[in-house]
Amino acid sequence: MPTWLDPWKQRMRWQRGAVETLRHHRVNRVTLRYWGQQVGIGLGVLAFQAYLLLTVLVLLRGGRCSPTPSGGAVGPAAA
């Protein structure tokens, strides 16, 4: 029976394999799109970590996280 960690480990192996393949083929007309995808994934990971850090810092300082209608409208408007 696989554990919860097993799918994460597999995903990391796939990710590492994708990056290794791109490094092997370098940047060219065909791989440029995939390099862009990897950069986007990396930026998404950094943005999510920054969001989590900011949330923890706000909560540690005694801040409240209360959803507001205007705050909920920002996400769909920005998309």
Listed as own residue / partner, the contacts of 14-23 with beta carbons closer than 8 Å and 24 or more positions apart are 15/41
Residue reference for tokens 């989590």: 52
The single-letter DSSP state of residue 62 is: T
Instruction: Tell whether pTM > 0.75.
Output: no
pLDDT of residue 64: 72
CB neighbour class for 19 (10 Å; exposed up to 12, middle 13-18, buried from 19) = middle
Report yes or no: 36 and 29 within 8 Å, Cβ to Cβ.
no
The pLDDT tens digits of the residues spanning 7-51 come to 989 999 999 999 999 999 999 999 999 999 999 999 999 999 999
Q: DSSP states of 23-50 as a string?
A: HHH-S-TTTHHHHHHHHHHHHHHHHHHH
Q: Which tokens go with 70?
A: 């205007």
Domain ranges of the chain: 12-60
